[in-house]
Structure 1
Amino acid sequence: MTFDLAGALRRIRRLADLSQRELARACGISQSAIARAERNASDLPTGALVRAAAQAGLTVALVDGEGQEVAPMSSQAVRDRADRRFPAHLDTRYSDQGWWHDDHHYGRARPWYTFDRDRRLRDAVRRRVGTPEDHQLPQPGDSPEERAAERAAVRRRRRDEDRERRCLAGESRRLPEFFECHCLSGCDDLEDWSGRPVHAEGCPCSCDVG
């Protein structure tokens, strides 16, 4: 489907009851620019076309092959640390889900978001989970530190649930009601959900000892 600029401009002028000169004045361009576009002798800047359509109460939009309007990408999507938009054709993700970086980036703070530079990696992910319609939107708790804390909380909750299951099954003693766990943060990283107690070296807590 090709866009008939000349016909569109004439439709706009007919709906808005405007001459070429009047439409040009409303759009901030010359009358000759309108005349050339209506002869298919030249194009119009997109901004001028948008302003022209507005004179007739119309909007310029993208439509697919079935005539359905396609929304533009969100201006509220995540951005990099310099407040720049990520490449539109690539997919964003949290940096703790895999952060590409060259050697000189190792000393830098981890960004909140990143993307796949390699289209082959991007396509492999898309085959597995599908193609997102847009870049992700920022959410509360998106910082690497907050996400790490949330993962640790999930691990602790699962460990507590597993401990309760083993207590009910008679595989482990029940802890006192007001027992406070003093496991090291490294214990969370070692948890493998095999059902056996896992503690980091030097952990003073006996919460999993049966």
Structure 2
Amino acid sequence: MGSLLRRIRRRGDLSQRELARLLGISAAAIGQAESGRRDLPARVLCRAAALAGLRVTLADRSGTEVPGMAPDAVRDAAGRRYPAHLDTRFGDLGWWHGEQRYSRERPWYTFDRVREVRDESRRFTGTPDGHLVAGPADSPAERTRSRARAAAEAREDLRRRRRAARAPPRHRLSVPV
């Protein structure tokens, strides 16, 4: 933290007092953070970086910047965010009860709490980068219609291929004159 604050002050040409005044904190807080005796809240560090024309980012081991999770990711029916460590999925995939069992509507989105289930899914499909982002056709009813259309198209394609396989070959014979 200390070396970062010193870099910020160097780039911004700011003394500890000037930086503290601009951030609305005490000069002692800046001094203590630079010496490693205390931390600064992330918001304060981000504001300090912005004053020097810098920004705080997350980077992976290779140094590639990693963006934050999408702010418009799906939420539950009460408007709450889903837990960040869980993988969201459509509620009509792998739903475990029949229509006759519950009178509740199926959720549009859900997640699996059981780590073994998540790990198995991630083994096959990889770990998603973030949560799903809601789309206009994400309702369970629209997804059912979409799957029905895709199935009908697949059946029609199969019929065409079977007809083509049964049809006698069309050969044109040309006889030299």
TM range (shorter): 0.7 to 0.9
Residues 32 and 163 of structure 1: is their aligned pair in 2 closer, same or farther, counting only changes over 3 Å?
A: same
Aligned-pair CA distance for 1:25: 1.6
Whether 1:64 and 2:57 are equivalent positions in the alignment is no
- The question of whether the paired residues in 2 share the 8 Å contact of 1:90 and 1:119 is answered with no
Whether 1:131 and 2:96 are equivalent positions in the alignment is no
Residues 106 and 29 of structure 1: is their aligned pair in 2 closer, same or farther, counting only changes over 3 Å?
A: farther
Aligned-pair CA distance for 1:166: 6.1
Give the Cα separation in 2 of the matches to 1:13 and 1:143. Answer: 51
Whether 1:25 and 2:21 are equivalent positions in the alignment is yes
Structure 1 residue ranges without an equivalent (≥5)? 171-210
Structure 2 residue ranges without an equivalent (≥5)? 168-177
Whether 1:154 and 2:150 are equivalent positions in the alignment is yes
Aligned-pair CA distance for 1:94: 0.6
- Report percent identity of matched pairs: 55
TM-score when scaled to structure 1?
A: 0.70
Q: CA RMSD in A?
A: 2.1
Greater RCO (Cα-Cα under 8 Å, separation 6 or more): 2
Whether 1:8 and 2:11 are equivalent positions in the alignment is no
Equivalent residue pairs, number: 163
TM-score when scaled to structure 2?
A: 0.82
SS of aligned partner of 1:131? coil
SS of aligned partner of 2:77? coil
Give the Cα separation in 1 of the matches to 2:85 and 2:102. Answer: 26
Give the Cα separation in 2 of the matches to 1:159 and 1:65. Answer: 47
Aligned-pair CA distance for 1:7: 1.3
Residue 178 of structure 1 corresponds to which residue in structure 2? none
